Structure 1
Amino acid sequence: MDTTAQRRFLLINPNTNPLTTQRLQEVLQPLLPLNVQLRVQTARFGAPYIACEASHAVAAHACLDVWTTERGSPQAPLNGVLIGCFGDPGLFALREVSACPVTGLAEASFIQAAALGPFAIVTGGERWKPMLQRLANGLGYGDLLRHIETVAPTGAALQADPDMALRCLGQACQNAAQTGVSSIILGGAGLAGYARLLQDHCTLPLIDSAQAGWEVLLQQQQVIAGPTAHDGFYAPWVGLPEAFSQVPPKGHG
Structure 2
Amino acid sequence: MRHLLVINPNTSDSVTGLLRTHILQASGPDVAVHMATARFGARYISSEASYAIAGHATLDAWAAWIADGGPMPDAVLIGCFGDPGLLALRECSPVPVTGLAEAAFFEAAQHGRFAIVTGGVAWKPMLQRLAHSLGYGDRLAHIHTVQATGAELAADPAAARTLLAAACAEAAAQPGVQAVILGGAGLAGMAAQIQHAVPVPVVDSVLAGARQAQQWRSGTPGQVQLAGAWTGLSPALMQIATI
TM-score range, shorter chain: over 0.9
Partners of 1:216 and 1:238 lie apart in 2 by 35
Match of 2:69 in 1: 74
- 1:169-211 per-residue CA deviation (whole Å, 9 max, x = no partner) reads 0110110010131100000000111001111111110000000
Structure of larger gyration radius: 1
Query: Secondary structure at 1:46's aligned position in 2?
Result: coil
Q: Which runs of 5+ in 2 are unaligned?
A: none
TM-score (norm 2): 0.95
Match of 2:141 in 1: 146
Query: Aligned residues, how many?
Result: 240
1:240 pairs, out of 227, 233, 239, with 233
Q: 1:117 Cα deviation (Å)?
A: 0.3
Partners of 2:241 and 2:47 lie apart in 1 by 33
Q: Does 1:215 align with 2:208?
A: no
Amino acid at match of 1:90: G
Match of 2:38 in 1: 43
Amino acid at match of 2:200: L
Q: 1:249 Cα deviation (Å)?
A: 4.3
2:95–2:222: 8 Å Cα contact kept in structure 1?
no
TM-score (norm 1): 0.91
Amino acid at match of 1:244: L
Partners of 2:198 and 2:73 lie apart in 1 by 37
Query: Secondary structure at 1:214's aligned position in 2?
Result: helix
2:76–2:213: 8 Å Cα contact kept in structure 1?
yes
Query: Secondary structure at 1:99's aligned position in 2?
Result: coil
2:27–2:211: 8 Å Cα contact kept in structure 1?
no
Partners of 2:217 and 2:29 lie apart in 1 by 15
Match of 2:94 in 1: 99
Q: Does 1:53 align with 2:38?
A: no
Q: Does 1:197 align with 2:190?
A: no
Match of 1:171 in 2: 166
What is the root-mean-square deviation in Å for CA atoms of aligned residues?
1.6
2:4–2:213: 8 Å Cα contact kept in structure 1?
no
Percent sequence identity over aligned pairs: 50
Partners of 1:162 and 1:45 lie apart in 2 by 27
Q: Which runs of 5+ in 1 are unaligned?
A: 1-5, 223-227
Q: Select between 91-100 and 33-42 the one with higher mean Cα deviation.
A: 33-42
Query: Secondary structure at 2:10's aligned position in 1?
Result: coil
Would the alpha carbon gap of residues 195 and 103 (structure 1) be closer, same or farther in structure 2, given more than 3 Å must change? same
Query: Secondary structure at 1:136's aligned position in 2?
Result: helix
Match of 2:24 in 1: 29
